[in-house]
Structure 1
Amino acid sequence: MSTTPRLSMRERQRNLTRQSILDASLEAFAERGYFATTVDDIVQRAGIGRATFYLHFDGKATVLRNLRDARMVEWQTQDGFNWGHGQEASVRKFFERMVDFYLEAPILYKTLHEARAADPEFAAEHMRTMEELVVEWSRTKTSATREQLRLSAAMLYSMLDYFMHLWLIQGWEIERERAIDAMSDALLAAMR
């Protein structure tokens, strides 16, 4: 016996329309880039009117946040990742998971990167994410100061962003395992 509630026809149609908007947005971001994409581009691809779009989202930034958040929820529930158990192993596991995250969603990665550069709100959200990481790391058994942890968080995101940009966007051939080892070693050195 299923305990999942059955959706009404109206709810199913709403969910399908919402997913259509998300899919169309990602296609538009891939083709035109975040900055150049307009709501008109999205609604045209989704085959809906502007009013329908605005029933679901208040703009392209909200669509991108929904795409990111859905992917992050999926990512965070995978295999119980935890920073606090074995520093070397947890740092390596983090880089492995982030590389795989970007490989599974390269258009989303590229769009988020563009949005951080073009939209002050996305840049501020990224800074909050980095600060949350510093707080999480400070709860682990580390002798690093808060300043060292902030530097480490900045290094982590800088290394990862640049590595993924070279690899996914520029097409630079880089061996996954060696890159993960190098990024892990550099971050661990900064955290000491």
Structure 2
Amino acid sequence: APTIAAHCVHVTPSDVDILARHRVTVAHCPRSNAKLGNGIAPISRLRSAGVNVGIGTDGAASNNSLDMASELRFAALSAKAASGDPTIIPAQEAVQMATVAGARALGLEGTIAEGNRADIAIVDLEQVETIPTSDPLSSLVYSAGRGAVTDVVVDGRFLMRDRSLTTIDEDRVKYEVKKIAKSYKN
């Protein structure tokens, strides 16, 4: 099974070499790291060394929203802020980290092609906050939020269609979660 190392905020150059040599994937969770005051992982240095870096959300206790759109944006922006270089982690690389690198971390490879099983999110970039879309990837990374997701297909099956969940009763889930949370308070 592939090895995944979470966070990797305080890695030394020697650590980076070890991660690269052993083909370890780093699960970069920048909003969790920021919320907990842990720092900013050197993702540009990791990627330059050949380390596969994917983007994760960590857990609800240290991130709250588990919102990949926000995570994607923050990963790109925090790398720029930490380095002082606005060209670090351009939109295309950020999207690659959130998609291809994440799949690679799980030992998955794939392409979007006729006959392949589909795991895909469809995003509407014709929102007030995303236009003009002269660069769709830049709009996706820096402007689109989770509300721009219109459809989600997993293994060829729609789990969300026209912004409505198809397999989950969202009101029931919220009710059950509140009930469980209340039982912990008592």
**TM-score (normalised: structure 1):** 0.28
Structure (1 or 2) with the greater strand fraction: 2
Larger Rg: 1
Structure (1 or 2) with the greater helix fraction: 1
**TM-score (normalised: structure 2):** 0.29
Which one has more relative contact order, counting CA pairs under 8 Å at least 6 apart? 1
